Amino acid sequence: MSIVTRFAPSPTGFLHLGHVASALVGWRCARAAGGRFLLRIEDIDPTRCRPEFAAAIEEDLAWAGLSWDGPVRAQSAHLPAYRAVLTTLAERGLLYPCFCTRAEIQREVREAASAPHAPDGSLRYPGTCRALTPADRRHRLAAGAPHVLRLDMAAALRAAATPLWFDDLRHGRVLCAPERFGDVVLARRDAPASYHLCVTHDDAVQDVTLVTRGDDLLAATDVHRVLQAVMGWPAPRYLHHPLLTDAEGRRLAKRDQALSVRALRAMGVGAEEVRRRATLAIPCG
């Protein structure tokens, strides 16, 4: 089976060395196996993403010598596909509208006995709106009440009907515990679909066989496996890599603008040197 990897940045800032490190892992694994390396722009969040950053990412990647195969996929061009997944999940009773405000959720979380936070640091929603009656839901929706759409995690796990795990080239076989995330948001008030939904949908339709990304997204893969299981999408293999750190061992962040590819270029650092500084010594399997 031919290997397909991808780099899937969100255009919320300029490409920095940490991104190049991540892109390099996917690029190297694809090129070493004679496979394909795809570029996907995850621009689903209109409040944080900007087209000029998407253009800059493409330009900086090309400058760094990280060529990708085929056209770039921009998630914002595929909203009907994400809506179709939401409709399927809703028809199967795995999705429900949540009308809680952030302040209400904070209060509900304080009062609930369960863990307050999901592994990604977000508040773990205690499921208040899951208990609304169908009539109440209809009434609020008809009145145009602002809401998000949440996955009913317990129902989804029942629908998956199998223990979930994934194979990671560094972490080995990882058993999933997606209930740690609670009922995750799959569509927001200000964004038509969530990261979890779009990333799993796109990895499936783009036939990605090896998902390479940072260890910061390792836990999120548990949620992705649930969506793959209920939607009947294939489970890719994963390679979650360590995050590139600075000399003091701190994780590079977008605010370290001095480490953006733009800034390094302006300082006269060449593409080969940028790749060298961004190289993580991890095998592709």
Q: Tell me the catalytic residues.
A: 254
Q: Draw the binding track, 209-228, toward ligand GLU (x: CB under 6 A; -: no contact).
A: ----x---x-----------
The Cα 184–Cα 148 span in angstroms is 10
- Residue 165's DSSP bridge partners are 175
Query: In terms of CB distance, is 157 or 199 closer to ligand GLU?
Result: 199
The Cα 165–Cα 225 span in angstroms is 7
Q: Which of 221, 204, 213, 203 is nearest to 239 (CA)?
A: 213
Cβ burial of 279 (10 Å; 0-12, 13-18, 19+) is middle
Query: In terms of CB distance, is 28 or 147 closer to ligand GLU?
Result: 28
Question: Binders of ligand GLU: how many residues, by CB under 6 A?
Answer: 7
Minimum CB separation of residue 171 from ligand GLU in Å reads 15
Distance of CA 4 to the CA centre of its chain: 17
Report the residue from 3, 4, 5, 8 that binds ligand GLU according to the rule CB under 6 A.
8
User: Is 194 a residue that touches ligand GLU (CB under 6 A)?
Assistant: no
User: Is 269 a residue that touches ligand GLU (CB under 6 A)?
Assistant: no
- Residue 98's DSSP bridge partners are 148
User: Is 10 a residue that touches ligand GLU (CB under 6 A)?
Assistant: yes
Report the residue from 16, 27, 42, 105 that binds ligand GLU according to the rule CB under 6 A.
42
Query: In terms of CB distance, is 16 or 213 closer to ligand GLU?
Result: 213
Query: In terms of CB distance, is 10 or 209 closer to ligand GLU?
Result: 10
Query: In terms of CB distance, is 4 or 199 closer to ligand GLU?
Result: 199
Rounded to 5 degrees, what angle do the CA atoms 41, 31, 270 make? 70
User: Is 60 a residue that touches ligand GLU (CB under 6 A)?
Assistant: no
Minimum CB separation of residue 19 from ligand GLU in Å reads 8
The Cα 185–Cα 182 span in angstroms is 9
With beta carbons less than 8 A apart as the criterion, state whether 64 and 20 touch: yes
The Cα 45–Cα 192 span in angstroms is 8
Segment near ligand GLU (CB under 6 A), from 7-15, 141-149, 159-167, 179-187? 7-15
The Cα 11–Cα 226 span in angstroms is 26
Residues that bind ligand GLU (CB under 6 A): 8-10, 42, 199, 213, 217
